[in-house]
């Protein structure tokens, strides 16, 4: 089945930019979605269809997708952005939903 690989952790200072990658074979041809999960909470959607943001999600969150890598970018990082982040695709070949391995973002 389709595999999505994320770095286990990313550290960033407040006010700086965090970039979280999601690697998969030819992922650029897929639609990628991103979820934020804070400790003890359910995941929430922060980016869908590669680049779109649900209402209520700050513009600081943006997505891109090309080639074998999709990226979630968080600009002007705040302490409240500290969380686990997961990418997700629907694998049409197997008709399965696939989550990435997850990335823990730490704000220094």
Partner 1 sequence: EVQLVQSGAEVKKPGESLKISCQGSGYSFPNYWIAWVRQMPGKGLEWMGIIYPGDSHTRYSPSFQGQVTMSVDKSASTAYLQWSSLKASDTAMYYCARRQIGPESTVNWFDTWGQGTLVTVSS
- By beta-carbon proximity to partner 1, the closer residue of 16 and 51 is 51
Instruction: Please state the closest distance from residue 44 (CB atom) to partner 1, in A.
Output: 7
Closest C-alpha to 54, from 78, 31, 33: 33
| Site residues, partner 1 (CB under 8 A) | 1, 31, 33, 35, 37, 42-45, 48-49, 54, 84, 86, 88, 90, 92, 95-102
- By beta-carbon proximity to partner 1, the closer residue of 45 and 75 is 45
Cα distance between residue 73 and residue 51, in whole Å = 10
Instruction: Please state the closest distance from residue 14 (CB atom) to partner 1, in A.
Output: 26
Cα distance between residue 55 and residue 24, in whole Å = 28
* Stretch (H or E) spanning 84: strand 83-91
- By beta-carbon proximity to partner 1, the closer residue of 76 and 97 is 97
Instruction: Please state the closest distance from residue 43 (CB atom) to partner 1, in A.
Output: 6
Is residue 43 within 8 A of residue 59, CB to CB? The reply is no
């Amino acid at each position: 089945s389709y595999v999505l690989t994320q770095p286990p952790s990313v550290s960033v200072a407040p006010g700086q930019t965090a970039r979280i990658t999601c690697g998969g074979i030819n992922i650029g041809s897929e639609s990628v979605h991103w979820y934020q999960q804070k400790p003890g909470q359910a995941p929430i959607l922060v980016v869908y269809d590669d680049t779109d943001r649900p209402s209520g999600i700050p513009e600081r969150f943006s997505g891109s997708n090309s080639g074998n890598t999709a990226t979630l970018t968080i600009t002007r990082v705040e302490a409240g952005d500290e969380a686990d982040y997961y990418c997700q695709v629907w694998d049409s070949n197997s008709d399965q939903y696939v989550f990435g391995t997850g990335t823990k973002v730490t704000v220094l």
